[in-house]
Structure 1
């Protein structure tokens, strides 16, 4: 489709479908600016949808009701960095954060696991997440998730090699890997309907212009947090969750 679009660009036959019916307007902000020249608009039925509509125990002003936010690993002491595995990459601490967040969504908020997806750019990380994830959530690559959508999408950057970088501009491609193809992240962000969560090292995002713009957008919106933000779940009243016979099995906790 892209090849045909470019070939016939001068024939005035390309039409942009500029109204989207999937995601909260705040989720749309970054891809709209970077990829669509701010021509997209959110239909009024989805423009303000949030997680609190699915979970009555989640206050509308709670941090986890944000449609988009980042859990930044950059300042975590003794964090795991990327590790190679069969010519792929994985990151243990990002895996732990993702698993914990999904646990909290399901057990503390009562979100259906089928409404959650985890996306990663590397098969080694995907295999590890699938291995340790206690619930049946969709875990896959960016490319495999095209055409899909979920209420919540969690994306992990995986790559973390900042301490070895001395000339960022010269080694950009080797440091950030697949995410240099920013359209992959565009696909990941636009799969989410109510919430997109980015987990990774913000320093890695400085290696790519579009990723840097995304980070600056998140920072200006004050939705970049450290892993300790997960403690905020402890202040949510879970009294309104479904009866135990209808809720997911959280006994492992």
Structure 2
């Protein structure tokens, strides 16, 4: 698809290319159907037939013959009437009769000739098709085909000679397949691939034992390491997404292209739950699929649907068609996802969202990727432990990657444990009732924003948009209560860190634990003052923060409200004195 748009030369000029895609039209992406050999040949044949038809249109000739024959019969009938009365027909009528007779004979001959010519075209159709195929191949600058497709019998009948052969995803093909396109006399072969991602799929254990799954790329890399060049700058992922794969899989050598954070910034990133990269700890057990031995995880499926619904609801002006991919290692989960999404959104969902397995998505990319890990048991993580499959799943997204997994299960794998630890340290880890969190609007203020050029707008501004927050009247706080700073927590729970809102305590405001686990005495006492039903140890109310802190807080601007805005704003009882400090956190 990118070749169709042209390429830039070394001097920066854009050049259009004649691109040809070989293969079955029914198995090719609809966006490139117009450059497939079958479609191009059909277009040429239709033009030839149309040109021939325009020159001698059989239908038009037949209609002319029919009208001429009718006029001829009418004229002859008039002549017969004159002769029956013993009268001499007018000369004009006689001339008209002769002209119609001559024209009818001529049209009859043309119809016969056209039919013969069309029959000849039909008999020579194979020869014409082969000639047109050769013309199209000769005129193509770039010919794209699968490895097996390049060995199709059609190539045996065409004269094809390649100066250069480039094999993409070369680390994912077996050696014998990589040899197929090399038989067309190429002077140079370039293998492009990533040996740290999935190798060829080989089901036979016996074949694997003899290294049948080893690719030509890996063999060349092992024997000629100096001829391998590392492409160490990535232009796909937001830096928040590329950080973990770079450090974990590529020893930190993978670098981001210039301004990738700016280029990949999107409106929904202002919500911490919809940040560029996040791990959602989804609690729930997997189960066997109805067909085969694959697995499904309904809890993760529900979260994936809610993430999609959240984007559609909060960002209605943004066109997500073709920009969301939902991938999973398990075919059972894939089938279940397709079924449930189709039941909810109709079959049109498949034109908007791409569903696929992790393996099949290798080499592909999407604006947003939702990665469902499925595994949720204490009996291991199966082939999720293959870090190459893990690497593929984590490097498909451009602007947003949301990983859905059960942390208690995934930590059984060495690298998945690293991912979860990394997510916690970077404060991109969300646990608890994930589904309920996502059911809340994140950025309702964006619903009516024109996002036709969201990419350009987001990359050209650093303004933080404050979302609209909807609150019922019984949740409103008094002005004095809202403006009163929160006392600094001093218990062992730690305090406000300003970064991680995956856990939020409604008592002390800490993001390190839930309300039920709060051990901050000061905050519990304040909660008791607001709600006598909370059992706490009696203590005096903490003094107001020092004036210096109040002054600093007064200068700070409120950030975009997070998904927990409601949780951290407590209803003030009518009998509670107004000077009781609110637990609403100020930034």
| Distance in 2 between residues matched to 1:39 and 1:181, nearest whole Å | 21
Contact 2:234 2:255 in 1 (8 A): yes
Equivalence for 1:219: 424
Q: Within the alignment, does 1:97 sit opposite 2:299 as a pair? A: no
Could you say which residue in structure 1 is the equivalent of 2:364?
Answer: 148
Q: What is the rounded CA distance, in whole Å, between the counterparts of 1:138 and 1:202 in structure 2? A: 26
SS in 1 for 2:424: helix
1:249 alignment counterpart: none
2:444 paired residue among 214, 233, 236? 236
Contact 2:237 2:260 in 1 (8 A): yes
Pairwise CA distance, 1:106: 2.2
Distance in 2 (CA, whole Å) between partners of 1:48 and 1:199 is 26
Does residue 71 of the first structure (1) align with residue 292 of the second (2)? Answer: no
Instruction: Give 1:232 deviation, angstroms.
Output: 4.7
Alpha carbons 2:271, 2:442 under 8 Å: kept: no
**Structure-2 separation of matches of 1:25 and 1:214:** 16
Pair 1:13–1:230, CA change in 2 (3 A): same
Distance in 1 of aligned mates of 2:415 and 2:393: 14
Which of 129, 147, 162 matches 2:337?
Answer: 129
2:295–2:331 Cα contact (<8 Å) kept: yes
Checking the alignment, whether the CA contact within 8 Å between 1:25 and 1:48 is kept in structure 2 is no
- State the secondary structure of the residue aligned to 1:216: helix
Alignment of 1:110-121 (within 5 A): 110-121=318-329
Q: Which residue does the alignment assign to 1:169? A: none
Gapped runs of 5+ residues in structure 2? 1-170, 172-194, 196-214, 453-587
Contact 1:50–1:66 (CA<8 Å) still a contact in 2? no
Tell me how far apart the structure 1 counterparts of residues 426 and 271 of structure 2 sit (CA, whole Å). Answer: 15
The 8 Å contact of residues 26 and 67 in structure 1, kept in 2 or not, is answered as yes
Q: How many residues align?
A: 222
How far has the Cα of 1:5 moved from its partner? 3.2
Q: CA deviation at 1:48?
A: 3.7
Candidates 266, 269, 287, aligned match of 1:83: 287
- Measure the CA separation in 2 of the matches of 1:35 and 1:188: 13
Q: In structure 2, the residue corresponding to 1:159 is in which secondary structure?
A: coil
Deviations 1:67-111 (A, max 9, x none): 10011124xxxx4x1111221100111111101111111232234
TM-score by length of 1: 0.80
Q: Which of the pair is proportionally richer in helix?
A: 2
- The structure 1 residue matched to 2:250, chosen from 13, 36, 40, is 36
SS at match of 2:295: strand
Question: What's the CA shift for 1:239?
Answer: 2.3
Determine if contact 2:280/2:405 at 8 Å carries over to the other structure. yes
- In the superposition, relative to structure 1, how do residues 23 and 234 fare at CA in structure 2: closer, same or farther (>3 Å)? closer
CA–CA distance in structure 2, aligned partners of residues 19 and 141 of structure 1: 26
TM-score, scaled relative to structure 2: 0.36
Q: Give the drift of 1:241.
A: 5.6
Q: Does 1:62 align with 2:268?
A: no
Q: Name the stretch that deviates more: 116-125 or 98-107.
A: 98-107
Gaps of 5+ in 1: 166-173, 244-253
Which secondary structure state, in structure 1, belongs to the residue aligned with residue 449 of structure 2? coil
Q: Residue in 2 aligned with 1:199?
A: 404
Q: Which has the higher contact order (CA 8 A, sep 6+)?
A: 1
Compare the two structures and name the one with the higher strand fraction.
1
Which residue of structure 2 aligns with residue 21 of structure 1? Answer: 235
Please list the CA deviations of residues 159-211 of structure 1 after superposition, one character each: whole Å capped at 9, or x if unmatched: 111xxx3xxxxxxxx52112011211211111100010011111122111111
Q: What whole-Å deviation, never above 9, does each CA across 1:31-82 have from its counterpart, x for those lacking one?
A: 1111111111111142444452xx4xx4x532145210011124xxxx4x11
Question: Residue 16 of structure 1: SS of its match in structure 2?
Answer: coil
CA 1:193–1:87 in structure 2 vs 1: closer, same or farther (change >3 Å)? same
Secondary structure in 1 matching 2:392: helix
